[in-house]
Structure 1
Amino acid sequence: MKKILVTGASGFVGSALCQTLISRGWPVTGSVRVKSAPFHYASGALNASTDWSAALDDCTCVIHLAARVHVMKEAAADALAAYRAVNVDATMQLARQAAAAGVRRFIFVSSIKVNGEASGKHPFRASDAPAPCDPYGQSKMEAEQQLQAFAATSGMELVIVRPPLVYGPGVRANFQRLMELIKSGWPLPFGAVGNQRSMVALDNLIDLLLVCCTHPKAPGAVLLVSDDHDVSTAELVRMLAAPMGRRARLLAVPTSLMRVAAAAIGKSAQADRVLGSLQIDVAPTKRLLDWHPPVAMQAALNQTVTDFLNHIKS
């Protein structure tokens, strides 16, 4: 196999993906803003003028992870324009140059936020009408649509993957904060939360991306991915507490009361992510690619907690 270009190679998913490719003997170039490893290509800032030509040399497949990710405290005056510059314009610049360089397959890692923030009574499917609720999800949807139109005329094979929350060793942000709270022993008010949420372990997402590189049925597909094991927030706390050797301390606070309290302090969006449901129907992906998540959720959570505890000790 010729080289695979992985953009966003220094990120949470990208760094692990590159290491997996290298360990399996797959030639890889990792695109980053500032070069820090021998296999890296320094792309600089991502925009409609980024020159990818050197990185695309002798590449047969691109896995495009680089993006302006969801920002909790937005500082840009025009958030949608800021997201579009990276997630749409830079993506299309890469796609056009990839096709011109003879790249056969382009794998775009999008987001379940294209579907929306809450799945309601039925799990999200790729066939659902897009319903993004924020500028990040909007930009990812626009990138998908423009890539699909380009693939139809260029002949380059396109695969779109929409992951939900990704966790694993090295995870940060809200997932790390949840582990810190559980380790602290403080009671958490999630005992009465009966929601259902889909997530995907880092190893499972990487495994699917590698399948997408070569599977003959992947081109043209929009693939939703998860661990195929949905959990409530309360169940997630229990599953994280177990490898810490702690008992989950959960208080049965009514969700309606927590939502009122969150709204009073301007945290309704954060409350929705903890209290609401976001389920994914991964069955179509499994059928199409004959794929199954190789790592069970509890095993992946154990690995995540072990890495978290090791970093605290070091």
Structure 2
Amino acid sequence: MKALVSGGTGQVGRFIVEELLGQGYQVIVGGRTRPVGGLFSQPVGFVPLALDPDRDQAVAFDGADHFVHAAFDHLPGRYRGGEGRDPDSFRARNLDGTVQLFKTARKAGVQRCVFLSSRAIYGTQPDGTLLTEATPPHPDTLYGTVKLLAEQALTAMARPDFVTTSLRITGVYGAALPGQPHKWQTLFCDYLAGRPVEPRLATEVHGRDVAHAVRMMLELPSGEINGQVFNVSDLLVDRHDLLKLLQTATGCTHPLPAPATGTPPLLMETGRLRGLGWAPGGEELLAQTIRSFHA
């Protein structure tokens, strides 16, 4: 099987590329620049691909059985607020450009299309709401709005010969790209240097588990997933507990921040995906990852 992965050199996309390579897929990375040598464990193809609604990019989909859309154009390091001072262009690239890629994939005969959406589509909800796929979305950022509208456009395209799914993903952690900091680099440096750290809770999932969810969408019977959306989340992580893992890995004796108090972030219910066989790594994978940062 041949899979085209947009944004395959990004922090999340590279986990998807590696997962598919490991399962014998022929992977083509679509993006603005060719992947640097050695980025992936096996050779990958490359095709130029852009979030440009006015460009004919049909050639990029030649021979592709599947399309995984992980690309998103934003200010570096920012998703929410990633539009900066140019919201119109941000919307045109990430919504209009995305929808055009979906249409091109369908016209080219791609069999399955997986879109990486976000928990940001849920936006503002009453305290204590358990976020299920049926929770009415109320995005409160342009990022969340764009993701939601792209989801809806893709779902409307679903048909037996064009199987579509969207994955609503929470914060992703894991090993960093070569030469780049990992997600918690600044936080860990502050703690190890004895600087104060503010308490915080956040929902997290490892990039490996995101990639596994993507592969499931390419391999499960179409009747179980076509036109569906799935939450992808694993742990509610307190900085106190996260830094305790770092403390164990490094032997650092600086005081830990207090456990977070107040209203916790809303949890994402993942029973729909788990019911299909998805099993994230949980606390064991989190601890293993922290140890790997300081091996």
Shorter-chain TM band: 0.7 to 0.9
Aligned partner of 2:22 in structure 1 is: 23
| 3-state secondary structure, aligned to 2:158 | helix
**Structure 1 unaligned spans of 5+:** 257-274
Change beyond 3 A, Cα 1:248–1:282: farther
Query: C-alpha displacement at 1:248, in angstroms?
Result: 6.0
Distance in 1 separating the partners of 2:114 and 2:80: 27
Partners of 2:79 and 2:7 in 1: how far apart? Answer: 17
Name the counterpart of 1:303. Answer: 289
Listed as ranges, the gaps of 5+ residues in structure 2 are 37-42
* Pair 1:64 & 2:73 matched: no
- Report the 3-state secondary structure (helix = DSSP H, G, I; strand = E; otherwise coil) of the residue aligned with 1:103: coil
Match of 2:192 among 154, 179, 183: 183
Partner Cα distance (1:135, 1:65) in 2:
18
1:101 counterpart letter in structure 2 = A
Deviation at 1:13, TM superposition (A): 1.5
Query: What is the Cα deviation at residue 95 of structure 1?
Result: 0.9
Contact 2:16 / 2:210 at 8 angstroms: preserved in 1?
no
1:290 matched to 2:277? yes
Question: SS at 2:123's partner residue?
Answer: coil
- 2:265 corresponds to which of 270, 277, 280: 277
Residues in 1 aligned to 2:256 and 2:125: alpha-carbon distance in whole angstroms: 24
In structure 2, how many angstroms separate the alpha carbons of the residues matched to 1:62 and 1:249? 47
**2: CA distance, partners of 1:248 / 1:278:** 30
Note the C-alpha offset of 1:243: 2.2
Question: What RMSD, in angstroms, separates the aligned Cα atoms of the two structures?
Answer: 2.7
The answer as to whether partners of 2:167 and 2:231 remain within 8 angstroms in 1 is: yes
How far does residue 32 in structure 1 lie from its aligned partner after superposition? Answer: 1.6
1:268-289 deviations in Å (ceiling 9; x for gaps):
xxxxxxx7513111122211x1
Task: List aligned pairs for 1:202-221, cutoff 5 A.
Answer: 202-216=207-221, 217-221=224-228
Amino acid at match of 1:242: T
Q: How far 1:188 moved relative to its partner?
A: 2.5
How far, CA to CA, are the matches of 2:225 and 2:247 in structure 1?
37
Q: Secondary structure at the match of 1:95?
A: helix
More helix by share: 1
Q: Does the aligned pair in 2 maintain the 1:31–1:43 contact within 8 Å?
A: yes
DSSP 3-state at the match of 1:224: strand
Distance 1:53 1:160 in 2: 22
Contact 2:4 2:30 (C-alpha < 8 Å) held by counterparts = yes
User: CA separation of 1:242/1:131 partners in 2, compared to 1, >3 Å: closer, same or farther?
Assistant: farther
- Give the 3-state SS of the residue equivalent to 2:29 in structure 1: strand
2:169 aligns with 163
Instruction: Provide the residue aligned with 2:150 in structure 1.
Output: 143
The question of whether the paired residues in 1 share the 8 Å contact of 2:187 and 2:197 is answered with no
Is residue 199 from structure 1 mapped to residue 200 from structure 2 by the alignment?
no
Which residue in the other structure is 1:270 paired with?
A: none
Change (3 A) 1:75 1:101: closer
Separation (CA, whole Å) in 2 of partners of 1:251 and 1:23: 39
Give the Cα–Cα distance (whole angstroms) in 2 for the partners of residues 201 and 132 of structure 1: 24
SS at match of 1:90: helix
Q: Tell me the equivalent position of 1:127.
A: 134
Q: 1:103 aligns with which of 83, 103, 110?
A: 110
C-alpha distance in 2, partners of 1:102/1:39? Answer: 21
SS in 1 for 2:172: strand
Deviation at 1:12, TM superposition (A): 0.9
Matched, 1:77 2:50: no
**Deviation (angstroms), 1:224:** 0.4
Secondary structure, in 3 states, of the residue corresponding to 1:30?
strand
Matched residue, 1:3: 2
Contact 1:6 1:64 (C-alpha < 8 Å) held by counterparts: yes
Aligned length: 281
Letter in 1 for 2:239: T
Does structure 1 conserve the Cα–Cα contact (< 8 Å) formed by 2:83 and 2:90? no
